[in-house]
Amino acid sequence: MSFVKGKLPLDLRFFNGLGAVAFGVKDGGFLYFLLPFYNLVLGVDAWLVSLALATALVIDAFVDPLIGHLSDRTYTRWGRRLPWLYVAPIPLALMWTLLWSPPFTGTPSFWEIVALAVGVRLLLSACEVPSVSLVPEITDDYVARTTLFRFRFLFGWVGGLLMMLLTFAVFLPTEAARMQPEGYATYGVVGAIVIAASVIGSAAGQHRYVAQRPAEPPGRFSLSDAFGEIIDAFREHAFVIFALGGLATYVSHGVTLSITIYVTQYVWQFSERAFVVYPLVLGLSVVFMFLLAGPLHRRFGKQMTAAIGALAALGIMAIPYTLFLVGMWPTTGGTASTIGFMTFMVLANTAGVISSISATSMVAEIVEAFEERTGKRAEATFYSGNWLIQKCATGGGIMLSGLIVSMIGLEPGTPQAEVSDSVAAWLAILYILVTAVLAVFAAFWLARFPITQEQHEARVAARHARIAAGEPDPLAAEPRAAAKAAAAPAKEHPQTG
């Protein structure tokens, strides 16, 4: 049975969400600053940085699902997930620091970038996959899972935007500073501290709820069994549909974020003050997401919310770029232009984040469908698959952004004032064309996700009936503790230490 019945305690929602701060810091770093840092500051060609990150993803593809499989098979008195959350953040923090202070002389090579990127990605998987896999274990309620993901997305965005705000206000406060490596090194150290503190704090805060030994120890680990289970999980029809739509959603989001510094600096001519205000303005979209995602899921379901969100984000975002290209937008760099662009971006980002949270939340329902078909629970296997999709999206977004930058001929270190109008126009055109194709593709597949709320609730009811009939539950506590709990009066929020 799930760890918690009834309404989720506020502290559990808080601490489960807190673990996503690490993902937000990493995502913000990879999407906003990694390409400009290695391209504009360290002098690596944009296409080479993109290729290095894509290569890291290929390596990651073979290892990431194994992390999920190992997490599913971890057997300790603290359960399957907590040991990972206590151990992995420390080496992750060290690797994150090295990413922004490369321990190499001269311009980093292709393989040096690959090594750093692989280290960060794999160690982050060792934190994020167990953390997010707790969601379907904590509750099997369709709406309550959305609540947990709302908190996770809120904390993830807060982590990313907080680091973005500190970067533009403190670490890289001027255009000249953004062309020097010192501020990025400080950014890496502060980010490493935030990453380690958030993951370890999340584990400690959830400990009394989820620290339970699994009912049965797993069998001996073997690579053939591991890949067999992974392949079986990826045969799940619902996951294939999700993967097609989710990948396009995440890539579109990745392109939007990774090209932010380029478009805000060279198309919209942001002032230094605008760079500081922009993260705060984007934070409004996260608040709107937190308030709107739950009601939209109840009204339209996760599938249609995800599809409509993807199309709405595209339609809203295209307005300022279209007006700019046809000469009907206020003079860029001025107050009217900056305020207008930020207003459209808040609305577009709200729709985009709602689409992303809806897609991510769908994965939780695949767990029960897979269990119904195979008799096995594989939360981390599916979320490592989702995590791999998000990583591919991050790399794909950066790669597409790098290709766009290379195609328009924007040279490393080019000052804002020296970029021609034609270069800025082509940057806007290519950006809109790429995101339009991705948004339509995402909406087409996400709308076809085959698991509805009614189907999920029917599966959960059948699972409860099987357990009531005496069949073992993979998430139950030790047999003796489970029997004792069954004999005791039911509690609204069972807590274990």
Q: What average pLDDT does this structure show over 276-280?
A: 83
Quick one: pLDDT at residue 113? 93
Q: What predicted TM-score, i.e. pTM, was given to this entire model?
A: 0.71
Distance in angstroms (rounded) separating the CA atoms of residues 406 and 401: 9
State the burial class of residue 219 (Cβ atoms within 10 Å of its Cβ: 0-12, 13-18, 19+).
exposed
Highest mean pLDDT: which range of 143-147, 156-160, 333-337, 370-374: 333-337
Write down the pLDDT at residue 168.
85
Residues 6+ apart with CB under 8 A from 142: 365, 453, 456, 457
Q: What is the Cα–Cα distance from 394 to 396, expressed in whole angstroms?
A: 5
Per the model's pLDDT, the better-predicted residue between 19 and 217 turns out to be 19
Comparing 155-164, 180-189, 231-240, 390-399, the range with the smallest average pLDDT is: 390-399
pLDDT at 248 over 50: yes
pLDDT score recorded for residue 372: 81
* Confidence at residue 429, expressed as pLDDT on a 0 to 100 scale: 93
pLDDT in tens, 408-463: 887 766 777 788 888 889 999 999 999 999 999 999 999 999 998 888 888 888 87
In the chain, % helix, strand, coil (3-state, to 5) comes to: 80, 0, 20
pLDDT band at 4 (very low <50, low <70, confident <90, very high): confident
Comparison of pLDDT for 69 and 41, the residue scoring more: 41
Can you read off the two tokens belonging to residue 70? 């190992």
Read off the pLDDT of residues 189-224 as tens digits, 9 standing for 90 and up. Answer: 999 999 999 999 999 999 999 888 877 777 677 777
> What token pair was written down for 493?
């929020």
**Side chain identity, residue 478:** E
* Residues 252, 439 contacting (CB under 8 angstroms): yes
In the chain the domains, ranked by start, together with CATH numbers, are: 10-214+224-474 (1.20.1250.20)
In whole angstroms, give the CA distance from residue 24 to residue 155: 7
Q: Which residue, 37, 12, 476, 22, is CA-closest to 262?
A: 37
Under DSSP, is residue 175 helix (H, G, I), strand (E, B) or coil? Answer: coil
The answer to whether the CB of 387 falls within 8 A of the CB of 129 is yes
In angstroms, the Cα distances linking 278 to 169, 265, 281, 388 are 11, 12, 5, 29
Three-class DSSP category at 473? coil
495 pLDDT above the threshold of 50 = no
Can you read off the two tokens belonging to residue 354?
A: 């709602």
Angle, vertex CA 9, rays to CA 5 and CA 14, nearest 5: 130
- 3-state DSSP call for residue 74? coil
Element (H, E) at 301: helix 272-325
Helical pair 453-468 and 142-166, crossing angle rounded to 10 deg: 120
- At 334-391, the pLDDT tens digits run 999 999 999 999 999 899 889 988 888 888 888 888 888 887 777 777 777 777 777 6
* Closest residue by Cα to residue 109 from 59, 42, 184: 42
For every residue of 244-269, which 3-state class applies, written as one string? HHHHHHHHHHHHHHHCHHHHHHHHCC
- Pick the closest to residue 194 from 239, 159, 227, 148 (CA basis): 159
Q: Copy the structure tokens of residue 222.
A: 């073997």
Q: What was the pLDDT predicted at 257?
A: 73
Question: CA separation (Å) from 60 to 117, 236, 255, 388?
Answer: 10, 22, 20, 8
Q: Largest Cα–Cα distance of the chain, in whole Å?
A: 75
Sorting pLDDT into bands at 50, 70 and 90, what band is 485? very low
Q: Kindly report the number of other CB atoms within 10 A of residue 195's CB atom.
A: 30
Which residue shows structure tokens 């670490």?
171
- Residue 477 C-alpha from the chain's centroid: 30
Residues in the chain: 497
Q: Which residue has the higher pLDDT, 21 or 59?
A: 21
Q: Write down the pLDDT at residue 96.
A: 97
DSSP state string for 393-430: HHHHHHHHHHHHHHHTT--TT--GGG--HHHHHHHHHH
Q: Cβ contacts of residue 374 below 8 Å, gap of 6+?
A: 232
In 3D space, the residue among 297, 301, 369 whose CA is nearest the CA of residue 140 turns out to be 369
Across the range 160-182, mean pLDDT stands at 87
Task: Indicate if the pLDDT at residue 319 is higher than 90.
Answer: yes
Higher pLDDT, 343 or 399: 343
pLDDT of residue 359: 86
Is residue 134 within 8 A of residue 15, CB to CB? The reply is: no
Single-letter amino acid, residue 341: F
Amino acid at 8: L
In this structure, the dihedral spanned by the alpha carbons of residues 253, 256, 257 and 259, taken in order and rounded to 10 degrees, is 150
In terms of phi and psi (left: phi > 0; alpha: psi -120 to 50; beta: otherwise), the region of 404 is: alpha
Instruction: List all residues 6 or more positions away from 45 whose beta carbon is below 8 Å from its beta carbon.
Output: 39, 406, 412
